Amino acid sequence: MTKRIEITKEEVIKISKLAKMNVDGEEERFAKLFTDTLNKIEILNELNTENIEETFQVTGLKNVYQEEPIDNRKLTKEEVFQNVKDKVKGLISTKGVFSGEENNES
Amino acid sequence: MNLNKLTIDECIKGLKKKEFTSREITQDCLDQISKYDSQIHAFITVCGERAIKESEKADEIIKKEGEQAFIRKPLLGIPYACKDNYSTRGIETTAGSEVLKGYIPPYESTVTQRIMNAGGILLGKTNMDAFAHGSSTETSDFFKTKNAWNYDRVPGGSSGGSAVAVSADMCIFSIGSETAGSIRLPASWCGVTGLKPTYGRVSRYGLIAMASSTDSPGPLAKNAEDCSYILNIIAGKDSCDATTSTVSVENYISFNEKNDNSKPLKGIRIGKPLSYFNIDMEEGYKEKVNESLKVFSDLGAEIIDIDLLDPKYSIAVYTIIQRSEVSSNLGRYDGIRYGQGRDKFGFEAKKRAMLGTYTLSAGYYDAYYAKAQKVRTLIINNFKECFNKVDLIIGPSTPCTAMKFGESDKSSMFGELMDVLAEPSSIAGLCGISIPCGFLNNLPVGVQLIGRMFEEKQLLYSAGEYQRVVNYHKERPKLK
């Protein structure tokens, strides 16, 4: 019998930061769910996978190259920008990424 | 005239003989939508005006070119509904989520582009679990879709809106997408035919990604023959999706008008995996599926007992792979280039992306993700061994008929449990089809056939022959 896995509230907060998801007030709920799910998937350890390779691509494709010209499906700049809410001088405006700038809008 | 009740085949025949026009078919579908969709809520967006204009163009082409037009455009004038996770240029595409509310794609997905080129007419975009994260369509951020057979029941998901649109005759066919069960489950619960093609058979370009290593676009239709018509159009290599296969596309329509052969499935071996019939199932469900086995046997197929791995392992593999790939695929939504901010993600998306982040993170990758991908290899090998002995595998599509609203909240892995019988073949990338095989308490029951990779033709042929002698797929719900 393997040891029961326990996901704590603190771990949920850590994961939420990595995944950039807001879990305010729901940490307990997620901790309980993740604990439950991770314990259920433990059944995989019943199967011996020694010397078994992983399968990432089921049809066996490898190194698919693109012939030139790629395709006639191209987007104009207007099309690329049509869903952008915050534009400055023809550029897409983002939040700052360096410390202290995260909350600066454009 | 109720032309909305027709199949693709019937529409094409009638259009060729000029018994009716595409405009009339399209109008009947739109009338059905406006009459019942305020109750059922299958559609997020209906593009009626645009559809009518397209239908008039189709009628012009038919007038000018006659029957010849259908060689160039095999779906000419046929109105269809599309799941809202396919990018449709100029038409809002939300994937059922608040995050993408208001998003107007600047480009067209390959699937909808190919249908457009073939003359198909888009009626609207159908409701779904947000980002396809679910098996009941209850997790749509907008509203819940009702099962047309019983308004207290869910349609299944995540392609719930697409399945209901077909079962309620709001369209001639629809497009869904399946990661593991999202076509077959709602098809089964709504009493329609749903095909999940082999992974890589149909392009994912422009399909909003859920789990990239299993996502498979496919049709939901009124019968298997119609699925063949659609697959003929959407299958094949696409330079915009490197994971599409170069395996050549066949003509999937293989039905004869007059088939005098009473044993059309002679020589076909169908495997019956005991592990699929021994799972916890709703009372009476197994018997319905067994009745269909008898029909396949009467049609000449040889039924052989086979050993497949217990599908419970697939639940675990699928949960890990799907959560991991979801965490990667949801990473792109930043609300900067399109869509809303990450604060708009719903509970289900958070749950999946966060667990996936965990299973992919340093220190846990080997224990979870790598382990799951190794068991995936075991599952694939297991199928390969079975397919040495049989040509098709048969099993129930789902463990039960459509559930009541609210049941999905009762388990942390509801979807995974409902999709238990679709997960193994999805993980292995195989093709599968769910077809109606009876009713239990006035709710449809589905049986599925699973085929080898790229052997959709065999699958569709066998399903088609079954539907030639059994009429469950022709039953329609009485709408209120």
pLDDT tens by residue, B93-129 = 999 999 999 999 999 999 999 999 999 999 999 999 9
Which residues 3-42 of chain A have a CB within 8 Å of chain B? 7, 11-12, 15-16, 18-23, 26, 30, 33-34, 36-38, 40-42
| pLDDT > 80? residue B265 | yes
How many angstroms separate the Cα of B33 from the Cα of each of B124, B183, B215, B219, B475?
Answer: 10, 21, 28, 19, 19
Domain of B171 in residue numbering reads as: 3-474
pLDDT, residue A69, reads 67
Whether residue B479 is contained in a domain is answered as no
B79-108 residues touching A, CB cutoff 8 A: 102-104, 106-107
Q: pLDDT digits over B335-359, tens only? A: 999 999 999 999 999 999 999 999 9
pLDDT tens-digit series, residues B145-155: 999 999 999 99
Percent of chain A residues topping a pLDDT of 90: 69
Q: What does the pLDDT read at residue A65?
A: 87
Chain B nearest-CA distance from A95, in A, is 9
User: pLDDT at position A1, please?
Assistant: 46
Of B312, B339, B370, the CB nearest to A43: B312
Residue A67, min C-alpha distance to chain B (Å): 8
* Residues on chain A touching B100 (C-beta within 8 angstroms): none
**Chain mean pLDDT for chain B:** 96
Alpha helices (H) in B283-404, listed in sequence order = 285-298, 312-329, 347-360, 371-389
* pLDDT at residue B444, as a whole number: 98
What pLDDT, in 10s, does the model give residues B208-246?
A: 999 999 999 999 999 999 999 999 999 999 989 999 999
On whether the CB atoms of residues B404 and A83 are closer than 8 A, the answer is: no
Q: Is the pLDDT of residue A104 over 50?
A: no
Place of tokens 């009713």: B439
Amino acid B418: pLDDT: 86
Closest approach of B308 to chain A, Cα-based (Å) = 14
Q: What is the pTM of this model?
A: 0.96
Distance, CA of B200 to CA of A49 (rounded, Å): 26
Q: Inform me whether the pLDDT recorded for B131 exceeds 70.
A: yes
Spatial contact of B360 and B409, defined as CB atoms under 8 Å apart: no
Asked whether residue B18 is domain-assigned, the answer is yes
Domain boundaries along the sequence of chain A? 9-46
Within a domain: residue B217? yes
When divided into structural domains, chain B yields a total of 1
pLDDT surpasses 70 at A106: no
Indicate if the pLDDT at residue A71 is higher than 70.
no
B37 in a structural domain: yes
Cβ neighbourhood burial of B440 (10 Å; 0-12, 13-18, 19+):
middle
Asked if B199 contacts B223 with a C-beta cutoff of 8 angstroms, the reply is: no
Q: How many CA atoms lie within 13 A of B348 on its CB side?
A: 27
Q: Tell me the CB-side half-sphere exposure of residue B240, using CA atoms within 13 A.
A: 17
CA–CA min distance A94, chain B (Å) = 7
Residues of A in contact with B361 (CB under 8 A): 15, 18
Which residues in A lie closer than 8 A to residue B340 (C-beta atoms)?
A: none
Contacting residues of B for A19, CB less than 8 Å apart:
327, 330, 350, 353-354, 356-357
B261 or B44, higher pLDDT? B44
**Tokens for B265?**
């499935």
User: Does residue B332 register a pLDDT over 60?
Assistant: yes
pLDDT tens-digit map of B164-201:
999 999 999 999 999 999 999 999 999 999 999 999 99
Q: Which bin fits B266, alpha (ψ -120 to 50), beta or left (φ > 0)?
A: beta
Determine which of A83, A103, A104, A105 to mutate to test the interface with B (most B C-beta atoms within 10 Å): A83
Instruction: Return d(Cα B342, Cα B330) in angstroms, integer.
Output: 9
Instruction: Tell me the angle at which helices B347-360 and A9-18 cross, rounded to the nearest 10 degrees.
Output: 90
**B480: in domain:** no
Residues 164-223 of B with CB under 8 A from A: 198-200, 213-214
pLDDT computed for residue A102 by the predictor: 56
Do the Cβ atoms of A37 and B240 come within 8 Å? Answer: no
Q: Please, what sign has the CA dihedral across residues B343, B345, B351, B354?
A: negative
* Closest approach of A98 to chain B, Cα-based (Å): 17
Asked if the Cβ–Cβ distance from A71 to B239 is below 8 Å, we say yes
Asked if B358 is an interface residue toward chain A (Cβ–Cβ < 8 A), one would say yes
Work out the average pLDDT over A39-64: 94
**Average pLDDT of the segment spanning B395-404:** 95
The answer, yes or no, to whether ipTM is higher than 0.95 is no
Distance between CA B340 and CA B250 in Å, rounded? 42
Distance between CA atoms of residues B8 and B26, nearest Å? 13
Q: Note the residue count of chain A.
A: 106
Contact B354 A15 (CB under 8 A): yes
Per-residue pLDDT tens over the stretch B18-41:
999 999 999 999 999 999 999 999
Q: How far apart are CA B257 and CA B428, in angstroms?
A: 35
Q: Is residue A105 over pLDDT 60?
A: no
Query: How much is the pLDDT for A96?
Result: 82
Q: What is the CATH number of the domain that holds B100?
A: 3.90.1300.10
Q: What's the distance, Cα to Cα, between the start and end of chain A in Å? A: 54
Asked if pLDDT for residue B451 goes beyond 90, the answer is yes
Residues 6+ apart with CB under 8 A from A60: none
Beta pairing partners, B283:
none
Cβ distance of A41 and B373 shorter than 8 Å? no
- For residues B121 and B30, give the distance between their C-alpha atoms in angstroms, rounded to a whole number: 12
Say yes or no to pLDDT of B436 above 90: yes
- Say which residue the tokens 């075991």 belong to: B378
Q: Mind listing the pLDDT tens digit for each residue in B273-314?
A: 999 999 889 999 999 999 999 999 999 999 999 999 999 999
Residue B45 pLDDT > 80, yes or no? yes
Q: Which residues of B are tagged catalytic? A: 83, 158, 182
d(CA B348, CA B351): 5
Smallest CA-to-CA distance from B460 within B250, B305, B291 is with B250
Quick one: tokens of B83? 């799941």
Q: Is B384 on the interface with A (CB under 8 A)?
A: no
Tell me the per-residue pLDDT of B456-472, one tens digit each, with 9 for 90 and over.
Answer: 999 999 999 999 999 99
Indicate the DSSP class of residue B399: S
